[in-house]
Amino acid sequence: MGYEAKILADSISVVGHRLTTFEVTFPRIVLAEVNTHKMISKNSASSRAIPVGERIVAIETDPFIPESFGKNKAGMQHEEILDGDADMAARKHWMQAMGACVVEARAMEGINVHKQLANRLLEPFSWHTAILSGTDWDNFEHLRVHPAAQGEFSKAARMMMDMKRESTPVLVEPGTWHLPHVPEVYYGAVRSKVEPGAWLNWAKVSAARCGRVSFMRQNAQNFDKDVARADAFISDGHMSPLEHPARPMTPWELDAFEQWEADFWVEGNGTRTMRVSEHFLRQVQDYDTVPGGSGMPEIRLKSEPKRVNYCGNFNGWVQLRKHVPGEADALGYRAAQGAP
């Protein structure tokens, strides 16, 4: 499988908010670091969903083997790499560990241990595919396309950011949608023929296909089954696949979600980046420093404010997830409505 990256959908709204969705393959060992990026919506292949036999075949056919082995030292990043006999020995031990884990995973499968445990033995040697969507990529690039980042993550991140720089986003007009894994509508002639009321179902199709990456079946296409799968996600409270399809904010939504982001000096806390209302911002600007009192700290503006329009973790876009009543606590919401 190896390192791979592609852009599934790259969109820009009429007011200039850009939303990009990638499908990326990287070593499974860096998934925890990928998941630290909270501004990015994610779904990915699951060790709980893919059969042990399939995992073993994939590893035996195309295992993840580090391109180099860093020489151990204090800190999180090596400075030198092993070479010669030391490099050969490291590769030997890596392959021996992989062989032992394959033997034990196969043995666990043989005694009917569920894949959600047996597959864990295979993860260090596996390639991993994830779907990542976001409007904010600067900090991701700053942290991961960097000499201090783990090389396996940095290589995938560099591929992604190079592709984003070379990509020309598609203009997505109000009322239409950013639809990863729905190229027949997102890029195709079908787009102009979609009735206004049908866009929500196409968004469900996109969510279903993004969610199926858990099983590595994201390229299968069946409109009715995809809509039904998305409805099942909603019914079961599985909301993450619904974060990838999104539509541009309407003018009134841009106004409703408007905030101002800037660095503020906060007494007792130092400099903090905060999102505040226009009313609060004007107070700080008018008085230079908002005085403390009644337990409130003094606050002073430290940088030029920037207008933002966040709904969830996307700036200027409304995810399909936000169309689900009570999406933050779907089961609790339904219980409050009297649903079983």
Residue 23: pLDDT above 90? Answer: yes
Coil, strand or helix at 116: helix
Write out pLDDT tens, residues 311-332.
999 999 999 999 998 888 866 6
Q: How far is CA 253 from the centre of its chain?
A: 24
The owner of tokens 């409270």 is 237
Q: What local confidence, expressed as pLDDT, does residue 289 receive?
A: 66
* Radius of gyration from C-alpha coordinates of the chain: 24
The pTM of the whole model exceeds 0.75: yes
What is the C-alpha separation between 244 and 172, in angstroms, rounded? 14
CA dist 327 and 313 (Å) reads: 14
pLDDT for position 222: 85
Q: Is 277 helix (H, G, I), strand (E, B) or coil?
A: coil
pLDDT recorded at residue 339: 61
Single out the residue of 151, 99, 104, 145 nearest to residue 125, CA to CA.
Answer: 99
Q: Is the pLDDT of residue 296 over 80?
A: no
Strands (E), 93-214: 127-134, 170-171
Nearest to 24 by CA among 11, 40, 12, 39: 40
- For residues 331 and 337, the answer to whether their CB atoms sit within 8 Å is no
Domains of the chain: 4-170 (3.30.1360.170), 172-248+320-336 (no CATH), 259-308 (no CATH)
